Amino acid sequence: MLSERQEQIINESIKLIAEKGIQGFTIKNLSKAIGISEPAIYRHFEGKTHILLSILDSFTEMAEMLSGLIDNNKLSAVQKISYMFNRMVDMFNKTPSLVSVIFSEEIFKNEEILKNKIIHILNKNEETLEAIIKKGQEKNEIRTDLSEKSLALVVMGPLRLLVKRWDLNAHNFNLKKEGKILLETINKILL
């Protein structure tokens, strides 16, 4: 469980990365943004890498929670995929600055521990989608002429592109509305 100060550090870090990029994410800039000394930040986190790991932990928790959908027999495969898709859109819509963290490859390139964490999150989401699609194919809820791997990429790729385009365009369109339209198209492809 994170302390109130750690939460504040994480939230300010996300804002800082969104505003200044990873290059502007320094402990010095962070301490100015929060209004505390640099050593005070180091009392809560070992450094920038550990702050970024804490940010990614929320994505890991969400990936683990979404994997619980696989065994939910009350929902069809398409409903499960729609739920996952909408949760991601909601998360980015509520906290747009997260886009700058999760979709910034330069953050993860040179830090092996961060790269491994993001790979774990991506793999977990992909495995979850593939398992849902495979079960859906077995129940004839989803088309069977394409592999579950290909269909999982069809779901994940456009979502990433939509969110990134929304972020690059300074959030000047309704992400939830565009996400709904995209999801309708994806669902047609799945059936």
**Predicted confidence band at 118 (pLDDT cuts at 50, 70, 90)?**
confident
Greatest CA separation for the chain: 59
Alpha-carbon gap, residue 165 to 92, rounded angstroms: 12
The amino acid occupying position 37 is S
pLDDT at 110 over 80: no
Site of tokens 């930040």: 41
C-alpha to C-alpha distance for 73 and 95, rounded to whole angstroms:
31
Q: What is the pLDDT of residue 179?
A: 96
Asked if residue 109 has pLDDT above 80, the reply is: no
Whole-structure pTM over 0.85, yes or no? no
pLDDT band at 55 (very low <50, low <70, confident <90, very high): confident
| Structure letter (DSSP) for residue 71 | G
Q: Are 22 and 1 in contact (CB under 8 A)?
A: no
Q: What is the mean pLDDT of the chain?
A: 89
Q: Return the pLDDT at 161.
A: 94
- Sketch out the chain's domains with CATH numbers: 57-190 (1.10.357.10)
pLDDT classification of 172: cutoffs 50, 70, 90: very high
Whether pLDDT at 67 is above 80: no
pLDDT computed for residue 73 by the predictor: 73
The whole-angstrom separation of Cα 124 and Cα 59 is 10
Q: Kindly report which listed range (112-116, 154-158, 163-167, 177-181) carries the lowest average pLDDT score.
A: 112-116
Q: Are 89 and 144 in contact (CB under 8 A)?
A: no
d(CA 87, CA 38): 35
